[in-house]
Every structure is written in C-alpha cells, then in structure tokens.
Amino acid sequence: MSVHIGIGGWTFAPWRGTFYPGDLRQKDELNYAAKQLSGIEVNGTFYRRQKPETFEKWRGAAPAEGFRYALKASRYATNRKNLAEAGEAAENFCRQGIAELGPTLGPINWQLAPTKHFDRDEIAAFLDLLPDEVDGLKLRHAVEARHESFACAEFVDLMRGRGAAIVIADHPDYPQIADLTADFAYVRVMRAEEGLDAGYTEGALDEWVRRVDSWAGGHAPDGLDYVKPREPAADGRDVFLFFIGAAKLRNPAAAQALISRC
C-alpha cells in the first residue's frame, strides 16, 4: 500500500524562507514541494476551472513515482441547495483535463458546505453522479461532510456501497467520521499550533504514525470517532493525509516530520 503525506496547496508567502529556500524562484516552488512531500491537496480547483495544460504542468513538476495530487472538487458542484442537481457541474469538473495528471492523480475531495444537512436520497443521488473514470483513468472519490447530521449509519452505508471514502477530519468544530468505506483513507489534520516548530508535539506525531500504519495495514485505529462498530481487518489501504489550515506556517514541517517517521 502507498502512503502520501503532504499539505494543502503550495503557494503561501510565509513559507518563503521557512519551508522554501529564500533564493528559490516562486515558479519553482511546486517542484520543490513535490520533492519534499509525497502529496499535495490542490485547493485552486475548488475555486476555478483549470486548463488541461495546467494539469500537464503539475504532472511534470512531480517526481516520477510516489507522489500524488488530491483535488478539491469544484464549489459549483458541492455548494448548492440540492446536490442531486450537481450532475453537469460534477461532469465538467472531471472533464476539465484532470486526466492529464495521469499516475500523479490521487482522490477527489468533494467537500460539502458546513451547513449541508444529511438527506439520504439527496446524497445517494449525488454519489451516483460521480464518474467512475475519465479518459480511461479510474477516479477515486472522497466526501468531506462537515455537518453533524452526517454522523449516522445511513451515510456510512451509502459511502461503503459506493466505494467512496469519508474524509476523516481532525478539526475542533467539524464531526469526525472515521469509518472506513473505501480502499483508501483520506485524512485532513487541522490542529497545528504556532508555538511548536513542527506544529504538533512529538507524542501527537507518533500517534499519527500509529494511525497511518494501521490504515495501511487494513485496520481501523483506536482513538478516533466511529459511527458504526469497526469491521475486522481487511486488505491494506492507500493513505492520503494532509496537514491543512490552523497554524498554516507549520504545516510543511508537520508533514516532513511525519514522513520521516513513517
């Protein structure tokens, strides 16, 4: 199984001189970040459509092996009153050229608005809209549900039936649904502290190592919030873990510290 650990995005001025060398050209930042990390969650795809040439350029900036981009799906597909009507927007997102990423393409994160409540029929219809492949490239989907109403067995069953992952969030305000519903785990860690060089204590980083090893080994680790009873160990899973938000300055150091331990 493969493990990909990284950050959200790669453009952030305070990282210049901290994560990025002070003399590094801004246009070389992605290439540098891709060599230091094993994954990046792209946030720009949430806000606007990209050109196929852009995805091709991103692929060229990544190492030949071991690196993956996770893409935030378009807000025009996810931030709407009725997700069952998102078919055209979801198709447009998947057909904008993401296949140009080739083997560097990781999962797509369909991040729902914090105000979106769970409705079984609506979410079932939405999941049915998500393409299984694009231009011969298999797609893997994850849903980040940020309203507490999603912490229910019906949502877990829907996701498991579709083979899509529930994004496991470590955030002070959003619900954590750690149930494993796909052949990969998608994790967003959002508790970095400014006063810590790596954003997290040694003990916290060691705990994430234990969890990553557990997911990769096919287990559901202790210490997380589950909706349903944990199932027996299964085949190993790919793991995608990103340090996001909070004390953003510290996220690259957190990712590098975790990579060095895994």
Model pLDDT, residue 232: 80
pLDDT score for 64:
67
- Say what the pTM is: 0.97
CATH pick for 3-261 out of 3.20.20.410, 3.40.50.2300, 3.40.50.1370, 3.30.70.1070: 3.20.20.410
Domain ranges of the chain: 3-261
Alpha carbon distance 44, 94 (integer Å): 14
Examine the pLDDT at 120 and tell me if it is beyond 90.
yes
Distance separating the N- and C-terminal Cα atoms of the chain: 13
Name the least confident of 36-50, 52-66, 169-183: 52-66
187 phi/psi in degrees, rounded to 5: -130, 135
| Residue 162: how many other CB atoms lie within 10 Å | 18
Query: Which tens digits make up the pLDDT trace of 218-232?
Result: 999 999 999 999 988
In the predicted structure, residue 194 carries a pLDDT above the cut 90 = yes
What does R_g of the chain's alpha carbons equal in angstroms? 18
pLDDT score recorded for residue 235: 83
